Amino acid sequence: MAPSIKVGDTLPKGEFGYIPWMPELEDNQLACGVPSKISTDQWKGKKVVLFAVPGAFTPTCHTNHLPPYLQKYEEFKAKGVDVIAVLAANDMFVMSGWARFEGLKDKILALSDPDAKWSAGLNLSLNLTDKGMGIRTQRYAIIIDDLVVKYIEVETAPGVTVSGADAVLAKL
């Protein structure tokens, strides 16, 4: 099923669970962090790269999808990107743990889309119930400029191509 949004559309409002990075998280002084929410409204006037993965700590997401975004962080910033965010159906504590493990700090926001609810509203959810993983986000990437979609691509086969850091950088 194709996404229900396309280039030129205004990004639908969403609110995600989020645990902001703080130094106390680095050495586990603060075991869980402070739960918070982030709204797409906060992206008004900003250039945002949002990429979604089926799950934190899953093989492709953990080794092939997220790391290149962190490795190329400065290249994204040089192209005027204000916010880079990774989105998954995992809860915000898992996303925070993954962010700490990957060393994201405050460079990439690790956002929780519980039950892929927001993604499902865009026809971008994935039913992995038969694999014991429930409803997840599809693997996709969106470039948003002042809440307007400038790029949206969804992976149609296993692996990372159109939603990867290199593909997104080429479209900025």
Burial zone of 93 (CB within 10 Å; 0-12 exposed, 13-18 middle, 19+ buried) = middle
148: left (phi over 0), alpha (psi -120 to 50) or beta: beta
Q: Are strands 140-145 and 47-52 parallel, antiparallel or unpaired?
A: antiparallel
Q: Which of 19, 38, 48, 61 is catalytic?
A: 61
Burial readout 134-145 (b: 16 or more C-beta within 10 A, e: otherwise): ebbbbbbbbbbb
Spatial distance between the Cα atoms of 72 and 79, rounded to a whole number of angstroms: 11
Residue bearing tokens 């990004």:
11
Q: Is 61 an active-site residue?
A: yes
- Name residue 109's beta-bridge partners: 85
**Would you name the residues annotated as active-site residues?**
61
